[in-house]
């Protein structure tokens, strides 16, 4: 009898351990019996909250499902706009399980990869329809800019046109995300039992070949504006330079005129002084003039002069009184 007690206790302990299961925090559990999910009296799948629970050993299988918000970071995909131009959009979706029974059945046993693949297909289909009905400038722009532009007289033509175009664009990026979220939310709930919490477009790029052509056009436009500014700068520089040269010429002419007038006045005063001096003592004036002439004539030792000694030039040398020779 005692020998039978030990196996019975072991079996009983094993059955008790097999009938107990724990649902961790952040997860929910469902029990599958003979391939079917256990339901309550209202024919709703029985969901086990975090904690300790019991099940029938050997017949029941527990499936734990993540109840937290999950992120599906979709791969970049190519879409075609209404202008027949390609854009590459990178997006993500926030979702969580709402109906665990429906989720379990729709994903083949609660497979998260299957759920993400089905959800990504739904999001991509709705997003493709929205992108295909809009232009690129509407896709990449947010709501209409209501900022007040400065007076157009203060802007050049290129800047004014670019600023005006920025205001006229009615961006619908936020509207696209809202439509995708609303349309996907109901479909995902009905088909997968998941609730789509949020949808966002992270990045919108153009294909390399289109981006290069746009960069070339932008570069050409900026170079055109730069050339215009440089030509305007050269024109203003020429005007400033001409004005400066005119002012310099005016100042020099005025200075030269003043110098000539001053020099003329000085010459007139000097001539008057010489005249007054000569009229007072002509003989002394002649003597001083002759001394100056002697000084200049005999300043160089190598000079040779061929003159008549009796000429007027040497009269003060021949006679201290300066009487001319006969």
Spell out the per-residue pLDDT of the chain, length 326, in tens.
666 777 777 777 777 777 888 888 888 888 888 878 887 777 777 888 888 888 878 788 888 888 899 999 877 888 988 888 888 899 999 999 998 888 888 888 888 889 999 999 999 999 999 999 988 888 887 665 444 444 444 444 444 444 444 444 456 888 999 999 999 998 899 899 999 999 999 888 877 776 677 778 888 889 999 999 999 999 999 999 999 999 999 999 999 999 999 999 999 998 888 777 777 777 777 777 777 776 766 666 666 666 666 666 666 666 655 554 44
My answer on whether 62 and 88 are in the same domain is no
**Residue-level pLDDT at 148:** 40
Query: How many angstroms separate the CA atoms of 74 and 90, rounded?
Result: 7
Are 84 and 186 contained in the same domain?
A: yes
Q: Is residue 217 part of a domain?
A: no
Domain shared by 37 and 111, yes or no: no
My answer on whether 105 and 190 are in the same domain is: yes
Of the candidates 112, 107, 108, 109, the residue with the CA atom closest to the CA atom of residue 66: 112
Give the separation between CA 316 and CA 286, rounded to whole angstroms.
Answer: 9
pLDDT of residue 151: 45
What is the pLDDT, as a whole number, of residue 271?
84
The token pair that represents 71 in the structure block: 């992120």
Phi, psi values for residue 94, rounded to 5°: -100, 130
Report CA torsion sign: 87, 90, 94, 95: positive
Domain span holding position 240: 222-280
Residue 219 pLDDT: 87
Q: Spell out the residues 6+ positions from residue 20 whose beta carbon is closer than 8 angstroms to its own.
A: 52, 53, 54, 55
Asked whether residue 102 is domain-assigned, the answer is yes
Q: Are 110 and 104 in contact (CB under 8 A)?
A: yes
Per-residue pLDDT at 76: 83
Answer yes or no: do 129 and 87 share one domain.
yes
Kindly state whether residue 325 falls inside one of the protein's structural domains: no
Q: Residue 313 domain-assigned?
A: yes
| pLDDT for the residue numbered 285 | 72
12, part of any domain:
yes
SS3 content of the chain, % helix, strand, coil (to 5): 55, 20, 25
Find out whether 72 and 92 touch, Cβ atoms under 8 Å.
yes
First to last CA, the chain: 189
pLDDT value, residue 144: 57
pLDDT at 308: 63
Q: What is the pLDDT of residue 161?
A: 47
CA–CA gap between residue 36 and residue 40 (Å, rounded): 13
State how many domains the chain has. Answer: 4
């Amino acid at each position: 009898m005692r020998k039978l007690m030990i196996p019975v206790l072991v079996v009983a302990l094993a059955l008790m351990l097999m009938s107990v299961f724990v649902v961790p925090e952040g997860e929910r559990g469902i029990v599958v019996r003979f391939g079917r999910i256990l339901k309550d009296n209202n024919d709703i799948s029985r969901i086990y909250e975090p904690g300790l629970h019991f099940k029938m050993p050997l017949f029941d299988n527990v499936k734990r499902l993540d109840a937290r918000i999950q992120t599906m970071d979709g791969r970049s995909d190519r879409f075609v706009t209404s202008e027949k131009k390609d854009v590459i959009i990178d997006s993500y979706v926030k979702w969580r399980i709402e109906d665990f029974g429906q989720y379990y059945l729709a994903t083949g046993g609660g497979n998260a990869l299957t759920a993400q693949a089905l959800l990504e297909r739904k999001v991509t289909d709705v997003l493709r329809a929205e992108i295909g009905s809009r232009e690129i400038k509407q896709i990449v722009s947010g709501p209409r800019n209501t900022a007040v532009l400065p007076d157009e007289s203060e802007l050049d033509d290129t800047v004014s046109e670019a600023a005006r175009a920025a205001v006229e664009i009615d961006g619908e990026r936020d509207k696209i995300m809202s439509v995708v979220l609303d349309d996907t939310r109901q479909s995902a709930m009905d088909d997968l039992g998941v609730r789509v919490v949020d949808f966002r477009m992270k990045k919108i790029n153009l294909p390399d070949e289109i981006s290069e052509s746009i960069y070339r056009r932008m570069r050409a436009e900026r170079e055109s504006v730069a050339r215009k500014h440089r030509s305007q700068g050269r024109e203003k520089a020429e005007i400033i330079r001409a004005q400066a040269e005119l002012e310099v010429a005016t100042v020099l002419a005025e200075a030269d005129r003043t110098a000539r007038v001053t020099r003329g006045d000085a010459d007139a005063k000097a001539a008057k002084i010489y005249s007054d001096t000569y009229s007072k003592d002509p003989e002394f004036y002649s003597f001083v003039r002759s001394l100056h002439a002697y000084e200049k004539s005999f300043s160089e030792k190598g000079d040779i002069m061929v003159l008549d000694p009796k000429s007027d030039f040497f009269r003060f040398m021949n006679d201290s009184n300066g009487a001319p020779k006969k």
